């Protein structure tokens, strides 16, 4: 009988960068697990690793920002996916601004939204943050960055 990898390896989801701010602390990470999860009201879920610095900040945040990247933004993906906020300020050398509720928006991404955190779902080694979009923007066209485009990025934190 095939294992779960036989199914999972066929998927190629869009990647996004999720940023969180609480007090003076900010963090962000590359996320491969996310999806719209409700139509009325519109809600979206992003799954953050419990080992990730962004998870720690996001647990205290009222708003998260979710950013879509285009394929030509691989360097930005590597910055937020291959470094850890425990040791590096990922926001240096990146254009960003504050938005609703103090959320951190990356200015050069293809599209973004800020969402109010409506709840959490424990999924094992990741926690789902259910957010309701309340502010958004769009800046660039082009094919979206997908998991297959990011396989060369070593995670800032190991899965285990």
Tens-place pLDDT, residues 109-120: 999 999 999 999
Provide the pLDDT for residue 45: 97
Tens digits of residue pLDDT in 123-135: 999 999 999 999 9
Q: What is the mean pLDDT of residues 63-81?
A: 94
Backbone angles phi, psi at 80, to 5 degrees: -85, -15
Where do the H-state alpha helices sit in 43-117? 53-58, 74-82
């Amino acid at each position: 009988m095939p294992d779960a990898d036989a199914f999972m390896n066929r998927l190629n989801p869009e990647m996004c960068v999720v940023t969180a701010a609480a007090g003076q602390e900010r963090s962000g990470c590359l996320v491969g697990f996310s999806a719209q999860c409700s139509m009325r009201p519109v809600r979206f879920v992003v799954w953050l690793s419990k080992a990730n610095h962004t998870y720690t900040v996001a647990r205290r945040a009222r708003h998260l920002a979710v950013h879509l990247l285009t394929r030509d933004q691989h360097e930005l993906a590597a910055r937020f996916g291959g470094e850890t906020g425990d040791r590096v300020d990922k926001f240096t050398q990146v254009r960003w601004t504050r938005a609703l509720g103090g959320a951190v928006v990356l200015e050069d991404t293809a599209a973004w939204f800020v969402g109010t955190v409506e709840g959490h779902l424990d999924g094992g080694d990741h926690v789902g943050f259910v957010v309701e979009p309340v502010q958004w923007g769009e800046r660039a066209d082009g094919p979206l960055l997908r998991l297959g485009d990011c396989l060369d990025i070593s995670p800032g934190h190991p899965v285990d």
